[in-house]
Structure 1
């Protein structure tokens, strides 16, 4: 029986640990918090998982909350008319919804990670509650066939060198502010189905609104992404959750009043329902070297951390865990050497590179052909649907998004049909 250590109990670490466990591996999972501490703590993320990632969970029979979480069937884009918020109520220059081929879902990671961690322990997994330092891994690595690091923050990440060729940004590109709320009214345009809303405010930032399932049931996430130093970059140092929500709503009223109109009665789901921060999008070398000469393999956002502007974090984590699981199973009893580690990462990068390219493109001002594409989606439902489904399969953006000639050819084709 092969022994594997997984450090970090997020989407990828737990999915991988449970997957390996189900195939008879002896798995130890290290987490810096207990399941109860996670469940009663602060929200950790915004997460909207699309069909491919959800299927990876179903394949491992880990979709415990699928019947309770809202089924997200649409993805809408609104663009504020430039400058319209200066003189009075902001207006929308663009507003449309694309329908998803298969539904998406969001489950608060406090609910999911706590539940998965308890399942791992109930199934006989070795759970170690301890914050791991590099020295700990140096000691532990001698007892395991493979050490996987999926803790995306803290000292351990420093073992994995930044890959400058794949990391165009050295600074955070957005200031992030999240609120989980009850009491949001449905969008009047589509009260009959659930949708994620992406509101783009040119030169200022973005507001995302998504239905979710949290510790207290059905809720919505209000998520501001502000350009650093701009008018949305005001959450740093705000410790009081009520003040955080008040700021969120104030900014909504000014920049996206059509969303604020349905948020007049919202309240936070709980005292831990807010989050603020920022980080630089970074791709890292996947192999970390320990002082004693051992090697560890980085997982998910340890090695590929994208800005959440395209909602890919938990999707990428799920896809990484699935790719790594397949590589481990296929490797049998062979040694997990550096060549295998790099090949395993490359298998994940095949899909992750499309996420990174698309996310980094969305962080900059959109070029004219992209504005034309987003505008055309308002008149051409197939374009809206294709853009929405790109959130599940970002590789498709290669076919119609980046190059003006491909965008024009695609729009001409849709209008001709």
Structure 2
């Protein structure tokens, strides 16, 4: 039985631990918090997961909250213009539904499941020196804790990291009492509201510790009018600022948010980080090697909602790589190949996310505008959140975008003429 140590109990670490456990591996999981501390702590993310990522959970039989979480069947985009009017407003239908489960619920539940199934759970913050000691007792050590000292073991990959500073100031609030959008109230959708030159607001249905809720998530351009949450410790003040900015920039969202209340005392989060790709192998002082997982090695800005999706896809990819490797040593060459396989998927997320952090070029504005008149365009953009590789076919290149719009327009015209 091969012995594997995973440091970090987030989406990727826990999914990987449960997956390896189900395959008969001897897994030790290190977390700096207990399940109960996670469950009663502060929210950690926004985590809207799309079909492919959700399927990885189903494949392992760990989709425990699927019947309770809202079924997100669409993804809408609105663009604010002068006088806070909507210049663009549409919603695309997803081929497979998405869902958001508060990570406090999911990680606490998964951690308890791992322990109940006989996994070794160590509640202890890990430093590089600890891993140096532990590594001698394990066939493979993986680091999935995306913050703190351990990340410094993984060198920044400058060629794949165009930004060296945070591109957005992030502010999250989980709320009860959000009203439905008048447009398409019959199904749940994530709403992306773009305020050019200012930032973005995402509204998404979620399942939290107190049941159904909605997440209000501001992404503000640093130094701009949305960059006001740094240093705000009081949750009530955080919510007040959130709503004031809604009223100022996105009155159509404010109209359904005016009566909201925070779900609990830990329902707010603010911060910022530079999107960074790192080298996948960390070297310990004693010469041992560790493999970086998910956002330890590929940390994208959450503007495209890919963090938990990427974590799930990385865990699934690494699980396959480990099982296929059999009883051969997990050396540096294997670690690099395991990451390279994941990068085949992750590179599309990184390219798309970094593109969306920049002011949109004219052809992208044309695509977003056309989606309001052409439902197939809206649907294709929405489903790109599940499979960002598809954006290569129509999103980045003005000529490809033009050809695609001409093709859809012609098809719509032909259908109307029949």
TM over 0.5: yes
Aligned-pair Cα RMSD in Å: 0.3
Partner of 1:216: 210
How far residue 381 of structure 1 moved from its aligned partner, in angstroms, is: 0.1
Q: Secondary structure at the match of 1:158?
A: helix
C-alpha separation in 1, matches of 2:8 and 2:340: 21
How far residue 264 of structure 1 moved from its aligned partner, in angstroms, is: 1.0
C-alpha separation in 2, matches of 1:387 and 1:168: 24
Deviation per residue, 1:97-154 (Å, 9 max, x gap) = 0000010000000000000000000000000000000000000000000000000000
Partner of 1:44: 44
Out of 371, 390, 400, which is 2:365 matched to?
Answer: 371
Partner of 2:401: 407
Alignment of 1:135 onto 2:129: yes
Partner of 1:25: 25
Deviation per residue, 1:275-310 (Å, 9 max, x gap) = 000000000000000000000000000000000000
- 1:175-186 equivalent positions in 2, closer than 5 A: 175-186=169-180
C-alpha separation in 2, matches of 1:110 and 1:250: 27
C-alpha separation in 2, matches of 1:257 and 1:325: 45
Alignment of 1:248 onto 2:235: no
Deviation per residue, 1:182-206 (Å, 9 max, x gap) = 0000101111100000000000000
Q: Secondary structure at the match of 1:170?
A: coil
Deviation per residue, 1:247-267 (Å, 9 max, x gap) = 000000000000000001100
Q: Secondary structure at the match of 1:261?
A: helix
Alignment of 1:397 onto 2:391: yes
- 1:7-406 equivalent positions in 2, closer than 5 A: 7-81=7-81, 83-84=82-83, 90-406=84-400
C-alpha separation in 1, matches of 2:137 and 2:172: 40
How far residue 391 of structure 1 moved from its aligned partner, in angstroms, is: 0.1
Deviation per residue, 1:217-271 (Å, 9 max, x gap) = 0000000000000000000000000000000000000000000000011000000
Q: Secondary structure at the match of 1:208?
A: strand
C-alpha separation in 2, matches of 1:13 and 1:381: 38
Aligned length: 411
C-alpha separation in 1, matches of 2:129 and 2:223: 38
Alignment of 1:5 onto 2:17: no
How far residue 65 of structure 1 moved from its aligned partner, in angstroms, is: 0.1
Q: What is the TM-score normalised by the length of structure 1? A: 0.98
C-alpha separation in 1, matches of 2:196 and 2:410: 31
Q: Secondary structure at the match of 2:200?
A: strand
Q: Secondary structure at the match of 2:256?
A: coil
Q: What is the TM-score normalised by the length of structure 2? A: 0.98
Partner of 1:87: none
Q: Secondary structure at the match of 1:172?
A: coil
